């Protein structure tokens, strides 16, 4: 049994809900209250409020006393009035669930950064939901009569009806405050058709007709709204596919979304591709309105859409633009000189746009190449070019700053070493996946005239062995037209800078002689042309008869006079010395460079000209043999010599045994070994070859002598057999019979041998040959045991002889 009322929320204070006394009287009109006293018990009927001793309204739940504050009961009349504001949404709030719990149906490329919603629960308040939208306040009415102990508890049910007193709101997470803004972060490569859940607006009203929400997007006026309509649309977060074919202007129609349905939450759909490089941010508004209400009653949620850059752009060269770029640089640039700055750009952002420069240096090329420009895109990935070049990183002529692309000189350049250097410059971003482009740079090394000519003297005859002196000795009887040496001139510069011409002049040597007196004697510097990058000159003697026939005897008369005026004991070999100055200059610019050398020409009496072999030393490798070795060597001397006497001797005593095995023909100088050569006696030795001129001029008592070294190495052949030492052959080995009771200390057990054998002795063979020829290999061939037994009186031992045949190879 209970009393119920139904009222709307937000009624004014003092509004009459009903008369509780009348409703109680009606409820209990057939029920009699019992009044008890000490004398009698009386049953009476309730007909006036004055009969009541107690008429109180209390909350149903003692923990929710504030519920009773909503109403006021008049004790005199029994009227129940509204005492305070009754808010349906406060008393019976509905659960709020964040709309972004919906799942994106196409891609997870978008991430949401929002102040989401949570479920908001109120206290119980002693409320009861009898139907979907009912909110019930349950109270208890205490009723008792005067002079009666009989007390009744009557439930009072007050149903609160929802009215449309709320507008849509975007509620902040864990708060009832309005949501300020909503962030959406998506990658620029998000697939078309991706649905991005947005914040759902809430109308706190409960009745479905009071909570229907109409969503639409609003785009900023100052931006190009066509781009917004083209890219974004609004749909529900259901699994239905979005179809905008009927929307020719690409504008999405407003959707009616029921506020109590999670499936009807709004979703932003991607209708067209995004490009971070074109636009990084979009600002839109999500508007939520109740159906039939003006825009003044709508909730507005600002949405900021941030586009995340992906590495979808390759770097691009700004300078140089040519696929194959060449430039000229001078070879005299100092290390560290800035040669070129590579400029590139990547329109991505962050690490995707941060560029790193590197280079690969190709092999040097001395020949000039023809520059051919192709029309291919200069931004191709380097992966297409990696196999097109013979790369060499061993030459670090250039370095590049990895951060700004500055190419600087790292080593000094030399145009005569290489005229061109090719490098490949790489530029890559630091995104994922990484993109790399490359460009070929060709440096032409420009030669400058920074090298003076280099002069080398190439002597001939016996003069060639005197390498530490610039002196050339010639005979006073030298024939006209004879060559006495060569001059090799080189210049490390290129082109005209490396072209050289030479000339000569003569001066007196220490003013001892007047060279002008011997004008009938001339040495010409003859240009024989250019071989490769070197210029070749020859020194040629021209005698007087080829210069001026009138001075035919001048040179000889001067010499003869000098000779005849000297006694035999004071005779000198040197007739005259003079200086030949050879000067070479290049044709470089802005000024030429020159180099000079002084060549001392000494004219000597022909009988004092050095006698020499063709080589400073001879080296022979001879295989040992016990047979005669003939025609080993026949050394020759330089120049024409009438008669010679050859001889041989050891360089020192340790080589005597080797040199004694050689024989030399005293007239021809031919070497032989009549008895062969034995390497086991000596394997290396040095002999001195001597050639002495036989002079038939009795007035000239000094004979010319030539010396040279003969170095001989004897190689081994396998001509010796291994031999054992005599003690082993004479005495052999002693073997003791094994006796477990006998002290066998004499026996050396081989612990590493698993056959329980023991060592009875060692063989020591010698092979005099060398290397592998002298390596001895032992092999057991035969074992023979004699049947006779010998007895030794001195040791009281019986002996058995065992014959062992060993093969040694």
pLDDT at 726: 75
Q: Distance between alpha carbon 95 and the CA centroid of its chain, in Å?
A: 59
Give, as one character, the DSSP assignment of residue 566.
Answer: S
Per CATH, 454-605 and 617-715 having the same topology is answered yes
- The rounded distance, in Å, linking the Cα atoms of 554 and 737 is 108
pLDDT at 432: 92
146 compared with 708, residue with greater pLDDT: 708
What is each CA distance from 672 to 645, 646, 664, 668, 675, in whole angstroms? 16, 13, 6, 12, 9
Residue 146, classed as helix, strand or coil, is coil
What is each CA distance from 80 to 57, 152, 418, in whole angstroms? 10, 18, 113
**What tens digit of pLDDT does each residue of 734-753 get?**
776 665 555 555 555 555 55
246: left (phi over 0), alpha (psi -120 to 50) or beta: alpha
Query: What pairs with residue 489 in β-bridges?
Result: 455, 535
What is each CA distance from 511 to 516, 554, 559, 578, 596, in whole angstroms? 12, 21, 18, 9, 20
Token pair listed for 218: 């609003």
Query: What pairs with residue 565 in β-bridges?
Result: none
Q: Report the pLDDT averaged over residues 418-435.
A: 93
Q: How many CA atoms lie within 13 A of 479 on its CB side?
A: 4
Beta carbons within 10 angstroms of residue 587's beta carbon: 16
Q: Is the pLDDT of residue 808 over 90?
A: no
- pLDDT confidence of 210, banded at 50, 70, 90? confident
Q: Does residue 252 have a cis peptide bond before it, meaning omega lies within 30 degrees of 0?
A: no
Q: Is the pLDDT of residue 372 over 50?
A: no
Q: Is the pLDDT of residue 82 over 80?
A: yes
- pLDDT confidence of 390, banded at 50, 70, 90? very low
What is each CA distance from 398 to 337, 355, 356, in whole angstroms? 10, 19, 16
Q: Is the pLDDT of residue 231 over 70?
A: yes
Q: Return the closest-CA partner of residue 610 out of 480, 702, 506, 508.
A: 702
Tokens 């504008």 locate to 251
Asked if 210 and 163 count as a contact pair (C-beta separation under 8 A), the reply is yes
Residue 72, classed as helix, strand or coil, is strand
Asked if 669 and 706 count as a contact pair (C-beta separation under 8 A), the reply is no
Q: Is the pLDDT of residue 107 over 60?
A: no
Please give the angle made by the CA atoms of 660, 665 and 668, to the nearest 5 degrees.
145
pLDDT at 561: 41
Segments making up each domain of the chain, as ranges:
3-92+129-161, 182-308, 317-446, 454-605, 617-715, 723-808
Stated length of the chain: 809
Token pair listed for 807: 């093969």
- pLDDT confidence of 270, banded at 50, 70, 90? very high
Please give the angle made by the CA atoms of 194, 195 and 199, to the nearest 5 degrees.
150
Residues 6+ apart with CB under 8 A from 292: none
- The rounded distance, in Å, linking the Cα atoms of 669 and 637 is 10
Topology of domain 317-446 in CATH is Immunoglobulin-like (2.60.40)
- pLDDT confidence of 152, banded at 50, 70, 90? confident
pLDDT at 90: 85
Give the sign of the dihedral formed by CA 17, CA 19, CA 21, CA 25.
negative
Counting residues of the chain whose pLDDT is more than 70, the rounded percentage is 72
Q: Return the closest-CA partner of residue 679 out of 601, 724, 624.
A: 624
Q: Return the closest-CA partner of residue 532 out of 611, 442, 416, 643.
A: 416
- Phi/psi at 786 (5° precision): -75, 145
Residues 6+ apart with CB under 8 A from 479: 541, 543
Q: Report the pLDDT averaged over residues 436-444.
A: 94
Tokens 């004991």 locate to 569
For the chain, helix, strand, coil in percent to 5 are 15, 40, 45
> What CATH number matches the domain at 617-715, 3.40.50.1950, 2.60.40.60, 1.20.1260.10, 1.10.150.130?
2.60.40.60
Residues 6+ apart with CB under 8 A from 508: 514, 515, 578, 579
pLDDT at 439: 94
- pLDDT confidence of 799, banded at 50, 70, 90? low
Q: Return the closest-CA partner of residue 266 out of 250, 284, 281, 292.
A: 284
CATH code: domain 454-605 is: 2.60.40.60
- The rounded distance, in Å, linking the Cα atoms of 377 and 68 is 84
Class of domain 182-308: mainly beta
Task: Please state the pTM of the whole predicted model.
Answer: 0.56
Most confident range (mean pLDDT) of 53-57, 99-103, 484-488 is 484-488
Q: Is the pLDDT of residue 344 over 90?
A: yes
- pLDDT confidence of 41, banded at 50, 70, 90? low
Instruction: To the nearest 10°, report the CA torsion of 240, 242, 245, 251.
Output: 130
Asked if 591 and 510 count as a contact pair (C-beta separation under 8 A), the reply is no
Q: What's the chain's average pLDDT?
A: 78
Token pair listed for 134: 């009912």
**What tens digit of pLDDT does each residue of 657-673 get?**
999 999 999 999 999 99
pLDDT at 175: 59
Superfamily of domain 3-92+129-161: Cadherins (2.60.40.60)
Q: Is the pLDDT of residue 88 over 80?
A: yes
Q: How many CA atoms lie within 13 A of 45 on its CB side?
A: 5
pLDDT at 242: 53
Q: Report the pLDDT averaged over residues 288-293.
A: 76
- The rounded distance, in Å, linking the Cα atoms of 535 and 786 is 90
Mean pLDDT is lowest, of 24-33, 313-322, 589-598, 707-716, for: 24-33
Q: Find the farthest-apart pair of alpha carbons in the chain and give their distance in angstroms, rounded.
A: 198
- The rounded distance, in Å, linking the Cα atoms of 315 and 310 is 13
- pLDDT confidence of 442, banded at 50, 70, 90? very high
Mean pLDDT is lowest, of 383-392, 393-402, 462-471, for: 383-392
Mean pLDDT is lowest, of 5-14, 367-376, 620-629, for: 367-376
- The rounded distance, in Å, linking the Cα atoms of 699 and 763 is 73
What is each CA distance from 478 to 205, 432, 475, in whole angstroms? 134, 84, 5
- The rounded distance, in Å, linking the Cα atoms of 343 and 319 is 5
Token pair listed for 40: 């009698």
Q: Report the pLDDT averaged over residues 30-35.
A: 60
Burial of 275 (0-12, 13-18, 19+ CB in 10 A): middle
What strand order describes the sheet that includes 594-604? Answer: 471-475, 594-604, 574-586, 500-508
Residue 230, classed as helix, strand or coil, is helix
Q: Report the pLDDT averaged over residues 26-50.
A: 68
- pLDDT confidence of 315, banded at 50, 70, 90? very high
Mean pLDDT is lowest, of 242-256, 453-467, 489-503, 672-686, for: 242-256
- Phi/psi at 764 (5° precision): -130, 100
């Amino acid at each position: 049994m209970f009393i119920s009322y139904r009222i709307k929320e937000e009624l004014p204070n003092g509004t009459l809900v009903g008369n509780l006394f009348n409703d109680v009287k009606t409820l209990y009109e057939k029920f009699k209250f019992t009044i008890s006293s000490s004398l009698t018990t009386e049953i009476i009927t309730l007909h006036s409020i004055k009969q009541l001793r107690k008429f109180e309204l209390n909350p149903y739940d003692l923990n929710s006393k504030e519920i009773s504050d909503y109403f006021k009961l008049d004790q005199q009349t029994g009227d129940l009035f509204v005492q305070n504001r009754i808010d349906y949404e406060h008393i019976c709030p509905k659960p709020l669930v964040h709309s972004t719990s919906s799942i994106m149906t196409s891609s997870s490329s978008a991430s949401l950064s929002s102040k989401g919603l949570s479920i908001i629960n109120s206290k119980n308040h002693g409320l009861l939901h009898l139907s979907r939208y009912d909110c019930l306040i349950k109270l208890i009415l205490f009723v008792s009569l005067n002079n009666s102990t009989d007390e009744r508890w009557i439930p009072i049910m007050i149903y609160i009806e929802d009215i449309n007193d709320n507008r849509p709101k975007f509620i902040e997470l864990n708060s009832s405050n309005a949501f300020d803004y909503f962030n959406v972060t998506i990658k620029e490569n998000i697939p078309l058709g991706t649905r991005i859940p947005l914040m759902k607006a809430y109308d706190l009203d409960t009745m479905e007709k009071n909570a229907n929400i109409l969503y639409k997007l609003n785009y900023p006026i100052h931006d190009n709204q066509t781009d917004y309509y083209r890219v974004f649309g609004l749909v529900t977060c259901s699994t239905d596919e979005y179809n905008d074919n009927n929307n020719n202007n690409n504008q999405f129609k407003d959707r009616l979304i029921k506020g109590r349905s999670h499936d009807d939450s709004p979703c932003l759909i991607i209708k067209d591709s995004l490009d971070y490089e074109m636009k990084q941010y979009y600002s839109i508004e999500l508007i939520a309105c109740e159906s039939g209400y003006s825009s003044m009653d709508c909730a507005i949620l600002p949405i900021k859409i941030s586009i995340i850059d992906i590495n979808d752009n390759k770097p691009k060269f700004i300078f140089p633009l040519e696929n194959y770029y060449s430039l000229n640089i001078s070879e005299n640039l100092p290390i560290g000189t800035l040669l070129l700055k590579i400029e590139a750009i990547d329109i991505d952002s962050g690490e995707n746009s941060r560029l790193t420069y590197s280079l690969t240096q190709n092999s040097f090329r001395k020949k000039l190449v023809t520059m051919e420009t192709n029309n291919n895109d200069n931004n191709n990935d380097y992966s297409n070019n990696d196999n097109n070049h013979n790369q060499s990183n061993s030459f670090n002529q250039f370095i590049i700053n990895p951060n700004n692309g500055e190419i600087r000189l790292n080593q000094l350049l030399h145009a005569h070493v290489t005229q061109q250097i090719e490098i490949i410059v790489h530029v890559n971003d630091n995104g994922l996946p990484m993109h790399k482009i490359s460009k070929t740079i060709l440096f032409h090394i420009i030669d400058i005239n920074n090298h003076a000519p280099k002069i080398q003297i190439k002597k001939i005859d016996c003069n060639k062995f005197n390498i530490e002196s610039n002196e050339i000795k010639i005979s006073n009887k030298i024939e006209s037209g004879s060559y006495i040496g060569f001059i090799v001139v080189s210049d490390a510069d290129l082109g005209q800078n490396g072209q050289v011409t030479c000339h000569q002049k003569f001066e007196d040597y220490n003013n001892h002689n007047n060279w002008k007196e011997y004008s009938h004697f001339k040495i010409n510097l003859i240009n024989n042309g250019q071989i490769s990058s070197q210029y070749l000159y020859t020194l040629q003697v021209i005698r007087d008869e080829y210069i001026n026939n009138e001075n035919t005897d001048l040179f000889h008369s001067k010499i003869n006079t000098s000779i005849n005026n000297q006694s035999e004991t004071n005779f000198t070999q040197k007739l005259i010395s003079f200086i030949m100055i050879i000067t070479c200059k290049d044709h470089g610019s802005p000024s030429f460079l020159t180099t000079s050398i002084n060549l001392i020409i000494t004219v000597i009496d022909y009988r004092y000209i050095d006698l020499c072999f063709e080589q400073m030393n001879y080296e022979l490798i001879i295989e040992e043999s016990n047979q005669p070795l003939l025609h080993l060597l026949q050394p020759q001397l330089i120049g024409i010599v009438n008669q010679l006497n050859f001889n041989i001797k050891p360089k020192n005593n340790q080589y005597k045994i080797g040199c004694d095995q050689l024989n030399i023909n005293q007239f021809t100088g031919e070497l032989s070994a009549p008895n062969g050569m034995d390497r086991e006696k000596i394997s290396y030795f040095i002999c001195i070859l001597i050639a002495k001129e036989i002079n038939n001029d009795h007035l000239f008592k000094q004979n010319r002598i030539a010396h040279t070294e003969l170095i001989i190495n004897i190689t081994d052949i396998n001509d010796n057999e291994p031999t054992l030492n005599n003690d082993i052959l004479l005495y052999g080995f002693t073997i003791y019979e094994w006796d477990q009771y006998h002290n066998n200390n004499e026996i050396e057990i081989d612990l590493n041998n698993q056959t329980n054998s023991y060592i009875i002795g060692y063989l020591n063979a010698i092979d005099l040959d060398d290397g592998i020829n002298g390596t001895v290999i032992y092999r057991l061939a035969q074992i023979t045991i004699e049947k006779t037994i010998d007895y030794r009186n001195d040791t009281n031992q019986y002996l058995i002889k065992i014959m062992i045949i060993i093969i040694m190879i």
